Structure 1
C-alpha cells in the first residue's frame, strides 16, 4: 500500500543535503511547489504556545525556516478546526498541496487530531504528497515515541500512527536530556528499531524504504554504531 512520501527531520530543513532530499521528493523546485504548514502539535506541549507557534508559521529563528522558504504558495492548516468545517472544504486544500510542513510539539496530541480530523485516514491515498516533519511532526509517523516524550495529559499511552516501523529520538545533544546515553535508555523501553537524530539529520521514506540524510550525527538502534 502506498502512502505519503516522508522527510522526517529533527530540526527542519537545516542544511543543503536535507534541502536536496526535499526537492528530490517534490520532483520540482521549492519555488514551483505549494505548501501547507501545520502547527497543531505545539498546542499539546507545555513548553510551546502562541509565541513558538507564530515563530514556526512565520519561519522565524530559532523555530526553523521551512515556512520562510520561497514556496509558490504557503497556507496554514490547523487540524483542531477541521472537524467543525467539513471534509468538503479541507480535503481539497490538502490534496492540492505538494507538501505538508508539520511542526513539532507533542506527538500524541498531534496523533489524536490527525485521527479526529480525518487526515490520518487520508494518508494512504496521498501518494503524490510530501510530508516534512519536525521533531514531533516526524515522531507521529512512528509506532511509539516512548514515555519520556509524552507531555499531553490526554494521551492514553505513547503510541502514535505507525506509518513507519521505527521510532525516532530527535534533537541529539540539543537539550540536556537528549544525550546519546539518554537515547540508549529510551531505546531499551521502545524495544524496536529506532533512529537517534541530531538537528542536521533526517530520514527519507519512499514506498516503505528508509534512508538517512545527514550532515551531522545519527545512530540506528539496536546498535549499528554512530555516524
Structure 2
C-alpha cells in the first residue's frame, strides 16, 4: 500500500517527484479518481468541491495533467451495485482524496466499503489535509467537527501516527506549533505536525517525510 499524505496537495517539486516515483510512470500516463466527500461537511463545501474537481483550488491535485480523471462520490456508493464502481477503483493508478472534515470522510469511507478495499489496492493514495488525517488511528479533540453517530475521534488506523496539518498557516491562526504540542500530548502514538510544503510518504509501512518547509515529529 502506497500513501502520500499531504497537508495541502502537491505544493512543490519534492512532493511532485515523490508522487511520480510512487506511480512508477509519468502523471500524464496515469489514471486518477478524485474523492471530494470530506469537503461537504464544512462551510462552503459545494463550492470548494467544484474548485477541487475542476482544478481551481490552491491545493494542486486534480490539475496535475492526469491521463484520465473521474469523480468518486462516497455518499452515493451505498445505493448502487458494487460492480458499478469497485472495478474502476481497482484499476485506477491514484486516488486523490480532498480535505474537509476527517470524521465525516471516515464515516463515508466505511459506509461505502472503500475503507475495506484500501489495503488491497495497487493505487497510490494521495490525501490532502483531512484526506491524510483519516489514515491515522484518531485525530484528537482539536480537530473534531462533524460528530459520527458513535461519537469519538477514531479514524481508519491504516498508519500508526496522527497528523496535524497546515502548521503556521496564515489563515489558521490556531494552528501554531504550541497548539500542535498540546494536541500531540493527548495522542496515544507518534504525531506529526506539518506545514503545507510537507508530505509524508508511506510504502509498505516505511515512513519518510518529504518537505521543503517545516514539520516536527512528536513521540509518545
> TM-score normalized by structure 1?
0.93
Match for residue 139 of structure 1? 133
Query: How far has the Cα of 1:107 moved from its partner?
Result: 0.6
Query: How far has the Cα of 1:48 moved from its partner?
Result: 3.8
1:197 to 178, 183, 194: 194
Match for residue 170 of structure 1? 165
Matched, 1:34 2:31: yes
The 5-angstrom pairing of residues 22-171 of structure 1 reads 22-45=19-42, 47-62=43-58, 64-126=59-121, 128-154=122-148, 156-171=151-166
Matched, 1:7 2:1: no
1:182 to 151, 176, 179: 179
Counterpart-to-counterpart distance in 1, 2:148 and 2:119:
26
Gaps of 5+ in 2: none
Instruction: Give the secondary structure class of the aligned counterpart of 2:168.
Output: coil
Count of equivalent residues: 217
Counterpart-to-counterpart distance in 2, 1:207 and 1:195:
19
| Over 4 Å off, 4+ runs | none
Counterpart-to-counterpart distance in 1, 2:38 and 2:102:
6
Counterpart-to-counterpart distance in 1, 2:66 and 2:160:
31
Instruction: Give the secondary structure class of the aligned counterpart of 1:113.
Output: helix
Query: How far has the Cα of 1:61 moved from its partner?
Result: 3.1
Superposed CA RMSD: 1.1
**Contact 2:103–2:147 (CA under 8 A) maintained in structure 1:** no
> TM-score normalized by structure 2?
0.96
- After alignment, is 23-32 or 151-160 more displaced? 151-160
Query: How far has the Cα of 1:191 moved from its partner?
Result: 3.0
Query: How far has the Cα of 1:216 moved from its partner?
Result: 0.3
**Contact 1:48–1:105 (CA under 8 A) maintained in structure 2:** no
